[in-house]
Every structure is written in structure tokens, then in C-alpha cells.
Amino acid sequence: MKENSRRQITRRTSLLAFLITGIFIAVAIAAPILTPPDPESADPAYKLVRGNYGNQPVPPGDVFPLGAIPAGFRQYLDIYHSLIWGTRSALQFGILVVFFSASLGIFIGAASSYLGGWLNATVMRVTDAFLAFPIIAGVVFFEEIYISIVSPGVINLYQFEEPTLSPIQELLARIDPLLVTLIFFSWMAYARLMNSQVLRIRETAFVEAARALGASPWRLIFRHLVPNSVSPAIVLAARDVGAIVLFQATMAFIGLSSSSPWGVSLAAGRKWIIGPGGNMLRYWWVFFPITIAIILFGIGWNLMGDNLHDWLNPHKDT
């Protein structure tokens, strides 16, 4: 009886996980249909509408389905547009970061534990060193490097010539610094996970058999060790998508990044979130829809992680 009700709950949450993430993915794909980008805008994620609607946030209506925030002289930022295109950007960002950091971590963890010995000890020492690095320090650090490459005139107050960039600099200048930071500083959890998993199965009979049959180290790692130990990393990756998007929005809100339309729009409406006299419902449309989207995004991917966990480890009961 108890077991039965548990199954039902699992089924319900898994349905919920697919529903939430499915809606987000559908919205992300259909973004250009739901709200066509502004041809004049440099970034399709934002739509600025000219007009005169006063100095206060414009309530939802015919022109703006979810209202708008004043942004500059007689310009209004469409919240509905930011919400829809923000979904697209968030999904892209989250999946990109998780894909690269997980691949990096899985590769490092698996390869080093396969090789073992002092090499593994060294690699794990470096991994632990990375764990001691707060990601916010990485964000400001990369931002700084990025600025100094893209516009040395700003950082180097006394030099204003056009910079000539080396290939590495050129590449870095084109990528979002937050993306680089997050990939560079979030692979450690995957590496540690893979490391402990691979160490456990390295000496098992099937690996021994494959080695005896003459499998190359690469084949051993990618065909035998990784597929048999990757499931916890996949669970972690699903949960990370939500966490990374939340972090991206947070960094955008405090002004350390500009890559999240959700975060940027919330920051634009910051002074109206605290409404007059402490009535935050006065301009609810400024923050409510986007906040709900962020929370649902996080919950959806977290549930997805739980789902994958149950699915990949049917015997383990947590």
C-alpha cells in the first residue's frame, strides 16, 4: 500500500518534470512566432518600444501583453518579449554550460582514475584546488580579462589605439565571459563523481576482459568505463541546468553580467519592485512573471534530475 502510493507520487512528479521542461523548451523554440524580434534591436532578446506612456511602468494591455518598464527617454522595455526570449537564452546558456562542464569533468575524472597512480593524485589535487575557488571571483576576473582584451582603452586609461588581437584573444572576445567562467569552474563535481565511480569498477571482470581482448585505453575509457559509471553525472547535470540559469540571472541582476534577459529585465525594473509605501503589488508585472519563470525553470530541472535518478538507478531508493 505504502509502496503503491509512492509509485503514484513518483509518476506524478515525473509527469510534472516533463511538463515544465517541455513547456520551456517549446516556448524557447517558438519564441520568434510568439513575439517576433525587433529588427532594429541589436539583441533580439530585448524589444524597446518608442512612445509616451509616462514615467511609470506600463500596466499589461493591448500594446504590452505583460506591461513594460521605462528604459530611457520615451522608450519602454517589453516584459513579455523579455520573458519569452529570456527562456530561449536561459535554455541555451544552461544546456551549453552544463554540456561543456560535464563533458570536461567526465573526461578528466574518467581518464585520470583510469590511469591511476600519482597522475590521478595530481589531477585530483588540482580538482580540489578548483573547488576552493569561489565562482564570483572567477566572474569578476574573467570580466576584467575580457574588458582588457576587447577594449584596452577602458582598462588602460592612457592608451586609445585599436587593439590587434591574437587568435586566443579574438576567440575570448567573442564569447560571453560568464559562460567561460561557469564552464571553467563547474566541472569539478563531475570529475570527482566520475573518479570515484570509475575507481570502483576499474578492477571488475568485464573491464579486465576488455583489456585482455586488446582494447585500447581510449576504447576502454569511452566504451566501457564511462557508460557504466556516467549515470550520477547525468543526474547532476540535469539539476545543474536550473542552478546555472538561476546563477546567471543573479549575476545579471547585480550587474556582473549582461547575458541573461531575465536578470537584465528584473534589474531594469528594480526600483519598482519595492512599490510605493511597501506595496509590491502596485507594479507586480515588473517582476512577478519573470520570477515565476525562473522558479519554475529551477524546479523543473531539479525534478528532472530526480526523475533521471529514479530511472537510472531503479534499485537505489532515495
70 touches 253 (CB < 8 A): no
How distant, in Å, are the alpha carbons of 15, 25, 249 from that of 300? 10, 11, 16
Backbone φ/ψ region at 134: left (φ over 0), alpha (ψ -120 to 50), beta:
beta
CB of 145 to other proteins, least distance (A): 6
* Stretch 169-208 residues interacting with other proteins (CB under 8 A): 169, 172
Taking the complex as a whole, the smallest distance from the CB of residue 158 to other proteins amounts, in Å, to 4
Give, rounded to a whole angstrom, the gap between the first and last alpha carbons of the chain: 18
Q: Which of residues 281-310 bind other proteins (CB under 8 A)?
A: 287, 291, 294-299, 302-303
User: According to the binding rule CB under 8 A, does residue 53 interact with other proteins?
Assistant: no
Count helices and strands in the chain by DSSP H and E runs: 15, 3
Q: Does 14 bind other proteins (CB under 8 A)?
A: no
# residues near other proteins by CB under 8 A:
67
Kindly tell me which residue out of 74, 144, 208, 311 binds other proteins, with binding defined by CB under 8 A: 144
Applying CB under 8 A, which of residues 194, 207, 266, 308 lies at the interface with other proteins? 266
- Single residue of 49, 95, 96, 145 touching other proteins by CB under 8 A: 145
Length of the chain measured in residues: 318
Report the residue from 140, 175, 209, 312 that binds other proteins according to the rule CB under 8 A: 140
Q: Give the one residue of 64, 93, 187, 253 binding other proteins; rule: CB under 8 A.
A: 253
Residue closer to other proteins, measured from CB, 30 or 154: 154
Residue 273 near other proteins by CB under 8 A:
yes
CB nearer to other proteins: pick between 40 and 317 = 317
Q: Is the dihedral of CA 104, 108, 111, 114 positive or negative?
A: negative
**Is 12 one of the binding residues for other proteins (CB under 8 A)?**
no
> Are 57 and 269 a contacting pair, CB within 8 Å?
yes
CB of 212 to other proteins, least distance (A): 32
CA separation (Å) from 74 to 77, 86, 112, 181, 298?
A: 10, 23, 58, 36, 35
User: Are the CB atoms for 293 and 83 separated by under 8 Å?
Assistant: yes
Indicate whether 63 belongs to the interface with other proteins (CB under 8 A): no
Burial 260-281, CB ≥16 within 10 A → b, else e: bbbbbbbbbbeebbeeeeeeee
- DSSP assignments along 270-300, one per residue: HHHHS-GGG-TTTTGGGTHHHHHHHHHHHHH
Nearest-approach distance from CB 69 to other proteins, in angstroms: 15
Closest CB to other proteins among residues 30, 131: 131
Near other proteins in 223-242, by CB under 8 A? 242
Q: Cα–Cα distance between 268 and 70 in angstroms, integer?
A: 8
Q: Which residues bind other proteins (CB under 8 A)?
A: 2, 6, 9, 125-126, 128-138, 140-145, 147-149, 152, 154-159, 163, 166, 168-169, 172, 242-243, 246, 249-250, 253-256, 266, 270, 273-275, 277-280, 287, 291, 294-299, 302-303, 317-318
